[in-house]
């Protein structure tokens, strides 16, 4: 049965201003400068003022008068706009809709890609027919961002049937794969790590001197016939079956270690884009045992409403008083009002960003005061997002946005804020200590170990327990993986 009924639903929708603040809050300082530049170019009602340090006193004195005048002017203009909305509400709603959509739009940079580099080389190949070219392009398109061909020939053949209605035999695909494996960078198009290293080593053999060839031939034999033993670092077995000395094995392994396990990583396009430098968002200084925090000056740009646009508003106001406002004048005043509102929202969002970032970082500084005072990582307290959220009154997601991709400059170096957050574990004295402290000690133990006889996870657990940190072996393994430390077998050297 079809019918109609009314129902009420409570929905939460973010306004364009809120979306703008969220986007500004999560970007680091390097991206903020670009975002401000884009807004200045897009909105003629917004402009940069003088240097903040030169205008701070003047701004402080005139702030109240400015706000009162601005509010009065805004009220008058709102009345004027309301009259226009009554005449043509559709135009106003349409322009408002376009304005809201503009907040979600962002410019996208498209650099030269690794696959474009491969396709350019593909264009230099001589194909028997168009069919062969289509197959080769399908193979290149199946190569991943590391430079490997992860799809097997039968799957590529299935793709060609569905996408191009071409029935291809496995031999045809394998033939073209070999051709593509001659592309640069060396190793591209390999199906696995073993094949990738073999391709690179064979190419090196063709261009190496006689003095290097003995070691490279031995390395080739190891990769081809004893890859499992090599990858598992069973060096004693390699010495026995190959009947070679430790020095010969060490030299051969040295040749293998020069190869690139991810061939695509060696490629850089002709336009790699701008270099990105770490610029601290905050600066903490130690002044005679007292810590002080300040935002990087670039975090506080001096933005204001364009005086010319303010003057245009005044001119329209005078026309209104003289009853000389025409339809085209109403369109112009609507455009100006929207641009000025957009500029105000952006300025307010920047100020709110500064306020939120400062109070969040100040709470982090107070929480980790002993660390910022001494630089001793053992002074770091366990800290999670909820701790800072409770101190500041901000939502956990807001704290997360501030901490993400932001850096603070201290007298001990520039640190990533996210690294100050950690869970807690209890030491043998029953005190809560940061997992960062445990990881630092674990890292120091591994750095100091005998690499010919690396320590197992169980041995690492025992040494940590002796230092007062009684944690399980599986926890040691988890921390080791988080520190990107391989297992003992893979840390072994000759």
**What pLDDT sits at residue 437?**
79
Return the higher-pLDDT residue of 325 and 400: 400
**Residue 343: band (very low, low, confident or very high) from pLDDT cuts 50, 70, 90:** confident
* Dihedral sign computed on CA atoms, order 317, 318, 323, 329: negative
Asked whether residue 95 carries a pLDDT value surpassing 50, the answer given is no
**What pLDDT sits at residue 362?**
94
Provide mean pLDDT across the span 455-477. 86
Give pTM, 2 decimals.
0.53
Question: How much of the chain, in percent, has pLDDT values that exceed 90?
Answer: 10
Fold of 424-494: Arc Repressor Mutant, subunit A (1.10.10)
Asked whether residue 352 carries a pLDDT value surpassing 60, the answer given is yes
Asked whether residue 365 carries a pLDDT value surpassing 90, the answer given is yes
Provide mean pLDDT across the span 243-270. 82
Taking only the tens place, the pLDDT of each residue in 279-333 is 888 999 998 889 999 888 776 667 888 777 777 777 766 666 556 556 666 777 7
Taking only the tens place, the pLDDT of each residue in 100-127 is 444 444 444 445 678 888 888 888 888 8
**What pLDDT sits at residue 15?**
61
Question: What residues does CATH 1.10.10.60 cover in the chain?
Answer: 424-494
Asked whether residue 76 carries a pLDDT value surpassing 70, the answer given is no
Provide mean pLDDT across the span 152-157. 90
**What pLDDT sits at residue 127?**
83
Return the higher-pLDDT residue of 33 and 315: 33
**Residue 348: band (very low, low, confident or very high) from pLDDT cuts 50, 70, 90:** confident
What does pLDDT average to over the chain? Answer: 78
Provide mean pLDDT across the span 354-375. 91
Question: How much of the chain, in percent, has pLDDT values that exceed 70?
Answer: 76
């Amino acid at each position: 049965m079809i019918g109609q009924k009314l129902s009420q639903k409570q929905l939460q929708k973010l306004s364009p201003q809120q979306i703008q603040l969220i986007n500004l809050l999560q970007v680091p300082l390097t991206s903020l400068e670009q975002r401000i530049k884009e807004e200045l170019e897009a909105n003629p009602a917004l402009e940069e003022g003088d240097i903040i340090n030169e205008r701070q006193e003047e701004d402080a004195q005139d702030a109240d008068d400015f706000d009162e005048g601005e509010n009065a002017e805004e009220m008058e203009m709102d009345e004027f706009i309301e009259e226009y909305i009554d005449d043509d509400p559709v135009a106003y709603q349409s322009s408002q809709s376009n304005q809201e959509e503009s907040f979600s739009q962002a410019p996208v940079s498209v650099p030269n890609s690794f696959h474009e580099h491969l396709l350019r080389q593909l264009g230099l190949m001589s194909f028997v027919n168009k069919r062969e070219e289509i197959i080769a392009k399908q193979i290149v398109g199946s190569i991943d961002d590391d430079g490997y061909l992860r799809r097997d020939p039968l799957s590529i053949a299935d793709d060609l049937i569905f996408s191009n209605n071409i029935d291809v035999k496995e031999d045809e695909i394998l033939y073209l794969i070999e051709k593509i494996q001659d592309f640069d960078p060396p190793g591209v198009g390999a199906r696995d790590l073993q094949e990738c290293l073999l391709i690179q080593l064979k190419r090196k053999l063709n261009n190496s001197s006689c003095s290097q060839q003995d070691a490279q031939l031995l390395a080739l034999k190891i990769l081809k016939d004893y890859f499992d033993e090599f990858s598992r670092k069973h060096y004693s077995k390699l010495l026995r079956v190959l009947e070679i000395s430790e020095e010969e094995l060490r030299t051969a392994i040295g040749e293998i270690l020069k190869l690139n396990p991810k061939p695509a990583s060696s490629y850089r396009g002709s336009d790699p884009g701008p270099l990105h430098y770490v610029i601290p968002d905050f600066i903490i200084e130690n002044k005679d045992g007292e810590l002080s925090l300040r935002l990087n000056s670039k975090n506080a740009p001096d933005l204001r409403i364009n005086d010319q646009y303010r003057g245009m508003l005044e001119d329209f106001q005078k026309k209104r008083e003289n009853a000389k406002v025409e339809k085209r004048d109403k369109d112009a005043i609507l455009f100006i009002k929207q641009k000025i509102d957009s500029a105000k929202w952006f300025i307010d969002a920047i100020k709110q960003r500064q306020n939120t970032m400062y109070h969040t970082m100040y709470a982090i500084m107070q929480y980790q005061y002993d660390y910022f005072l001494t630089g001793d990582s053992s002074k770091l307290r366990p800290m999670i997002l909820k701790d800072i959220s409770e101190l500041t009154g901000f939502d956990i997601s807001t704290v997360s946005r501030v901490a993400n991709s932001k850096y603070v400059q201290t007298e001990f170096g520039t640190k990533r804020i996210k690294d100050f957050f950690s869970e807690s574990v209890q030491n043998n004295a029953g005190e809560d200590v940061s997992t960062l402290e445990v990881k630092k000690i674990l890292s120091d133990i591994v750095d100091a170990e005998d690499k010919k006889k690396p320590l197992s996870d169980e041995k690492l657990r025992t040494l940590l327990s002796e230092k007062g940190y009684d944690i399980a072996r599986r926890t040691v393994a988890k921390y080791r993986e988080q520190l990107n430390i391989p297992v003992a077998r893979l840390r072994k050297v000759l």
